[in-house]
Amino acid sequence: MPGANSFAGIVSGAQRLLAAVAQNADQLQAAEAHRAELEAALNQFKELAGRRDNLKAEKQVLSRQMRAAGERVNDATIDLKALIKATMGSRSEKLIEFLMAPRRKVLRTDRDPRKAVLKRPPTVDAESPAAKG
């Protein structure tokens, strides 16, 4: 049995009620206005559900198209940045305007940065001969 608030639950409940009212129409003549209102509301509900399902399908198609367009944007961005870098040079500081980092010289004090040792300046001890000087 579908839930009371599910699409199937709402539709089947309303349809059962309308069928029961139709079978007992001679006893429920005063309920005709309410029956017509329920029938109109049920038809609108079904129409809206159909439109929603159609929009879901359309959304999926549009999402697929957006993914494809996004890939084209990424490819075009890479191509354009490569052209700009080739035209201006990979070391040009002007590349910053185009959201690219220029190649810069790296200053190294030692050839192998893994072996670099930080040297502290010598400290002067109060008892050392240099401090008494």
In a domain, 68, yes or no: yes
Range of the domain at 12: 7-132
- Give the number of domains in the chain: 1
For 108-127, how does the pLDDT look when each residue is reduced to its tens digit (9 = 90+)?
Answer: 665 665 665 555 556 666 66
Least confident of 14-28, 89-103, 109-123: 109-123
In a domain, 26, yes or no: yes
The pTM (predicted TM-score) of the whole model is: 0.52
Phi, psi values for residue 92, rounded to 5°: -70, 130
Burial of 53 (0-12, 13-18, 19+ CB in 10 A): exposed
Q: Which two tokens stand for residue 101?
A: 């980092």
Q: Are 91 and 102 spatial neighbours (Cβ–Cβ below 8 Å)?
A: yes
In a domain, 112, yes or no: yes
Q: Are 21 and 31 spatial neighbours (Cβ–Cβ below 8 Å)?
A: yes
In a domain, 57, yes or no: yes
In a domain, 126, yes or no: yes
In a domain, 37, yes or no: yes
In a domain, 1, yes or no: no
pLDDT at 132 over 90: no
Q: At how many degrees (to 10) do helices 7-23 and 32-88 cross?
A: 160
